Structure 1
Amino acid sequence: MYFNTVLTDSAKLLKPLLVFSFVMLAILAGLTRIIQFRNHPADVYCGWLLGSAIAVYLVTP
């Protein structure tokens, strides 16, 4: 967790901003896959759930 050690008081907003931007990009990518008829909506929703579950597993101690 090198990122947490180099995070100073002046950059406390950087981590939530990065997390928010990556989540928004994932949502946008999934929605464009649905809009372009490349994936079924259920596949995209399951992918979001699987990715969220893996992220929660990696973050929890």
Structure 2
Amino acid sequence: LLPPFWKAIGPALPPGAGTWSTRSIAYFENNAMTTPLLVLAAWAVVGAAITMAAAATRRKAP
């Protein structure tokens, strides 16, 4: 029900990967879990790196 563009990139975004992993747990006995977990881990690492970079570059008040 999604347009082709969103259908193509959906699994690479956190909501798509989370939905895919939940479905794999509920219906397929944890099969095909590697890709969604790697996607979620990559988003977590990127988010943490951006947060750490922003904190490091933030100026301290005098």
TM range (shorter): 0.3 to 0.5
* TM-score, normalised with respect to structure 1: 0.44
* TM-score, normalised with respect to structure 2: 0.43
Max Rg structure: 2
Higher RCO (Cα < 8 Å, 6 or more apart): 2
Structure richer in helix, relative to its length = 1
